[in-house]
Every structure is written in structure tokens, then in C-alpha cells.
Amino acid sequence: MASGIFHAASSFARAFEIGISGKEAKVYLALVKGGSMNAPQIAALCGMHRPNVYDVLKRLGQRNLVSRANLNGKTLYRASSIEALRDFWEEKLKIINQITKELESHK
């Protein structure tokens, strides 16, 4: 199963080269496919060191792409909805459009 996630993560990262790293893609896809998991489970599934997973989860959380909850003293992470991913990319597109307009006004 892990090789399938890595292949999908590679495709995902290629498709979204602006603003998301390969490690972020792996973690996000692992959560999409696996549902709620703790960091050690994510690390094992993605073949990453746990400290790196925590860093990636923090970045994804800052982008509202991952949420976390405490259950019986354990922190579980979950991929946000596809709408959150769409909102993330729509915000990126707005920024690109603003920059493009500014550059065009300097011609």
C-alpha cells in the first residue's frame, strides 16, 4: 500500500508544484486514504521520521489542510475536506492574478 501512496504523492506534488512539497503531499494523501491517524502511524506509512512528520503536519495545519483532535490523550490528525484544498488553491490563484495585474501595469 505504501508504494501506491508514494506514487500518488509524486503525482500530487507534480500537479501542485506551487506551495506544497513532496513530503506534504505524502502526508496529506496518507490522511486522505487512511483517515484519522497519529503521527507515528503517519510516519510509518510515509516512511518518514516522526519529527519531520510533525513539521509537515504543522505546515499543513497552517494552511487549513489538516486538522487535529485529542482523543483519549492521543493527538489524531485528519485531512481537511477537499473544499479546504480548493480554497487553498483559489487563494494562491488570487495572489497570482494580483501579481500578474501589477506586472502588466508596469509595461
Q: What is the pLDDT of residues 13-46, one digit of tens each?
A: 554 555 677 888 889 889 988 999 999 999 999 9
Residues 6+ away with beta carbon under 8 Å from 69: 36, 75, 76, 78
Res 96 pLDDT > 90? no
- Across the range 52-57, mean pLDDT stands at 97
- Across the range 76-95, mean pLDDT stands at 84
Would you state the pLDDT for residue 87?
A: 83
CB 74 within 8 Å of CB 51: no
Q: Extract the C-alpha cell encoding 18.
A: 506551487
CB 79 within 8 Å of CB 28: yes
Paired strand residues for 70? 75
Would you state the pLDDT for residue 15?
A: 47
Angle at 66 between CA 60 and CA 69, to 5 degrees: 130
Res 57 pLDDT > 50? yes
